Structure 1
Amino acid sequence: MKYTPLNAQLYIQNRKQFAGQMKSNALAVFNSNDIMPTNADGTMVFRQNNDILSLSGIDQEESILVLYPDFYDKSFSEILFLKETNENIAIWEGHKYTKEEARATSGVQTIMWLSQFESVFNTLMAEAEYVYLNTNEHIRAVVEVQTRDRRFIDWCRDKYPLHKYERSAPIMHDIRAVKSDIEIEALQVACDITEKGFRRVAAFVKPGVTEYEIEAEYLHEFVRNRSRGFAYTPIVASGASACVLHYIDNNQECKDGDVLLMDVGAEYGNYNADMTRCLPVSGRFTERQKAVYNAVLRVKDEATKMLRPGNVIPDYHKEVGKLMEKELIGLGLIDSTDVKNQNPASPAYKKYFMHGTSHHLGLDVHDVPNIYKPMKEGMVFTVEPGIYIPEENLGVRLENNVVITKDGTFDLMRNIPIDADEIEEIMNSK
């Protein structure tokens, strides 16, 4: 890993929170993600399962965390099982956690090798009544491969059919919803690295550069600052491509007169930044481009003010829609007749602003907490309105990441330029 490990107190506290929501005489099991294959003998880069990571900090494949708070022998109330290394693994794959390193990283005192798992688990299951198993229950998840968690569920239910099984996901969503100070610090680092990438790119963009060159500039700056790289596949979209919400080809030349939309973010310690900025390729916005840009910026600023404890995302999105409706009328894209005759289920503004404004952010870019529960202090959200006008080859989206506080928000991207005049000034100060 490139990043500096986070304070183990985070994981100790998270495990305490999870245990506090478990039924009595229950155990819980969390598995690492698989290393996924590509072709031949190739594999994808390993990305840890965010639930075991948030409970242990262990960023390594083939790891298992077992929690059994009520077990008689308290040394077995938390057990971390790790892949045991050997000389051959060390030569071909590199260093793996020692027991001492895992103990320091996680705060779990009982560390065992994976080869001991089945016999120890059998001992625990002989006493447990309830078993908490983990699955991906993200509201937008589409899981078409059999995960390590799924294989474990099948194995466990087959071997122990008479136990009472419970879902870990609702508890994990609750725990991960509110970020600790340690997590917010990691998110701030991710945002600060993203800022460095943006400033590098703002000085680089000019007519004739390609979208993939811009992507490369970001990646260079991210990795040199201890990020693994992009938090998600970057969108670097110039001209009409900016109207394609998930454009990731990034293969076109940026031309004079285009507006370049960049939805990129660095990850740090598995925590993710999610930024969108727009640059005039020529260094100056046209009058029309600036009008659209400033309309989006006004919606972003007003939407940010609505992120308050007690608000709920679906209601919030409806209110942001009203802001966007007003701006689109001002831009001449819709009129009062369109609004009067609109279908409430598909309001007129959706023609030019068809996505949501905010989502939870954390270990997942679209983080797991329940969108129907009230916002709380310590939650982290994106704010990302946009206006997309294909007939004008113009798409503008602006996005910052904010923490909900007791009486407002704290902007993690407060230092990343966003004002149109400041953007122009940076681009013309080369």
Structure 2
Amino acid sequence: MKYHPINNQLFIKNRAKFTSHMKPKSIAVFNSNDIFTTGSDSTLPFEQHSDIFYLSGADQEDSILLLFPDAIDENHREILFLTETSKLIEIWYGAKYSKEEAQNVSGIKTIYWLSEFNKVFFDLMTEAETIYFNTNEHYRQAVELESREDRFIKKCKADFPAHKWEKSNQILQEIRGVKEPEELEIMQTACDLTNKGFRRVLPFIKPGIMEYEIEAEFMHEFLRNRSKGFAYTPIIASGYSACVLHYIENNKECKDGDMLLMDVGAEYANYSSDMTRTIPVNGRFTDRQKAVYNAVLRVKNEATKMLSPGVLWAEYQKEVGKFMSSELLGLGLIDKADVQNEDPNWPAYKKYFMHGTSHHMGLDTHDYGQLKLPMKANMVFTVEPGIYIPEENMGIRIEDDVIVQEKGKPLNLMKNIPIEVEEIEDLMNS
């Protein structure tokens, strides 16, 4: 792995949190992601499933984690199953974890080879009454492929029809939303790498440059700082393209007079950062661009202040909408009649700000975390308002990653990334 080793105490704590929610005499199983083929003998780079990584730190394909707190043999209360390295694997792909390495990474004492899974699993299921299946129930999931978890669940239900089953996801939604100090430190590193990338590209951007050239500069800076690269597919959108929320082609020329929206974030140790900044291609904001930009920035600042324990996400969204309505009135994009006659289910401000303001951040860019229950300290949210004006060929979004604090104002993990108009202009023209 490119990243520095993570103290296994993080994964020990995470497992303890998960198992404390499990029912008596129950087993939970977590599978790694598949390796996906692109055709012929080519595959996509392996990306570990965030749940098994969260609970074990195992960053290797073909891995299985089994948790059974009530196992009769205490050595079987936590087991990590891994591929055994062979000479062939070692020569062609490089050695996989040894048992000692896996123990050091995960803090799990019992490591078995994957070939032993079926025998050990059958034996432990004779002791268990319930099994926790790891289904994907994220509110934005749109999975069409059958995953390794799906295949395991199907086989397990067929082989053990008398067992009861529960869902791991409900536990994970609760515990993964609240970050441990080690996680916050890793996320700060990811945000710091994003800062380095942004500062690298600011003086590089000028009229005539291509969006993909900017993407390449970010990638260069991320890779040279121990990141795998982008935490998600980057958006480098100039001019009208910034009004397309998920524009990812990044193939247009950046033209004089246009604004450039960059929604990018570095990955570090499988954790995500998520930043958006919008800047003038020529290095100078026009009066109109500055007015819209500062309106978005004021909404972001007001929204950030609201992130505190006890706040309900849905109510927070409504309050942000009020701030945005006020700014759009000031910009002349809507009028009082629009607000008075608005549909409560689609307020007037939605014409120019149609997406949500915040989502959980962590191992996944849209991370697990409760959205229907009050916010808690050490949850991490994005704050990302935007104003999109297709008729003016302009979309502006500003986004930071923020920790909810037990007391005091929220902590901005991106506080060092340039955001004020004057600072951006100075750096672009230095």
Q: Give the TM-score band, short-chain normalised.
A: over 0.9
Say whether 1:420 aligns with 2:421: yes
- Indicate the residue corresponding to 2:288 in structure 1: 288
Residues 67-95 of structure 1: per-residue CA shift (max 9 Å, x gap): 11111110111010001111111111112
Separation of aligned partners in 1, 2:92 and 2:313: 47
Unaligned runs of 5+ in 2: none
Give 1:185 shift: 0.5
- Indicate the residue corresponding to 1:222 in structure 2: 222
Equivalences for 1:17-416 in 2 at 5 Å? 17-407=17-407, 408-416=409-417
Alpha carbon RMSD of aligned pairs, Å? 0.6
- Indicate the residue corresponding to 1:10 in structure 2: 10
The residue identity in structure 2 corresponding to 1:233 is T
Give 1:284 shift: 0.3
Separation of aligned partners in 2, 1:207 and 1:414: 28
Q: SS at 1:309's partner residue? A: coil
Q: SS at 2:95's partner residue? A: coil
Report runs of 4+ in structure 1 exceeding 3 Å deviation.
Answer: none
Unaligned runs of 5+ in 1: none
The residue identity in structure 1 corresponding to 2:70 is D
Give 1:370 shift: 2.1
Give 1:235 shift: 0.2
Q: SS at 1:18's partner residue? A: helix
The residue identity in structure 2 corresponding to 1:366 is H
Q: SS at 1:299's partner residue? A: helix
Separation of aligned partners in 1, 2:106 and 2:388: 45
Q: SS at 1:405's partner residue? A: coil
Separation of aligned partners in 1, 2:374 and 2:84: 44
Give 1:314 shift: 1.1
Give 1:138 shift: 0.3
Separation of aligned partners in 2, 1:36 and 1:184: 30
The residue identity in structure 2 corresponding to 1:398 is I
Separation of aligned partners in 1, 2:4 and 2:86: 25
The residue identity in structure 1 corresponding to 2:24 is S
Q: SS at 2:314's partner residue? A: helix
The residue identity in structure 1 corresponding to 2:28 is A
Separation of aligned partners in 1, 2:41 and 2:313: 44
Q: SS at 2:295's partner residue? A: helix
Separation of aligned partners in 2, 1:234 and 1:95: 32
Q: Identity rate of aligned residues, in percent?
A: 62
The residue identity in structure 1 corresponding to 2:413 is L
Separation of aligned partners in 2, 1:226 and 1:111: 28
Separation of aligned partners in 1, 2:394 and 2:74: 62
Separation of aligned partners in 1, 2:57 and 2:194: 23
Q: SS at 2:391's partner residue? A: helix
Residues 320-370 of structure 1: per-residue CA shift (max 9 Å, x gap): 000000000000000001111111111110000000000000001001112
Q: SS at 2:222's partner residue? A: helix
Give 1:5 shift: 2.1
Give the paired residue count.
Answer: 429
The residue identity in structure 2 corresponding to 1:102 is A
Separation of aligned partners in 2, 1:154 and 1:182: 35
Residues 109-168 of structure 1: per-residue CA shift (max 9 Å, x gap): 000100011111111001101111111110110110000000000111111110011111
Separation of aligned partners in 2, 1:212 and 1:167: 42
Separation of aligned partners in 2, 1:278 and 1:324: 18
Residues 238-293 of structure 1: per-residue CA shift (max 9 Å, x gap): 01111110000100111110110000000000000000001111110000000000
Separation of aligned partners in 2, 1:8 and 1:133: 24
Separation of aligned partners in 2, 1:367 and 1:374: 16
Separation of aligned partners in 1, 2:135 and 2:93: 28
TM-score w.r.t. the length of structure 2 is: 0.99
Give 1:99 shift: 0.4
Q: SS at 1:38's partner residue? A: strand
Q: SS at 2:277's partner residue? A: strand
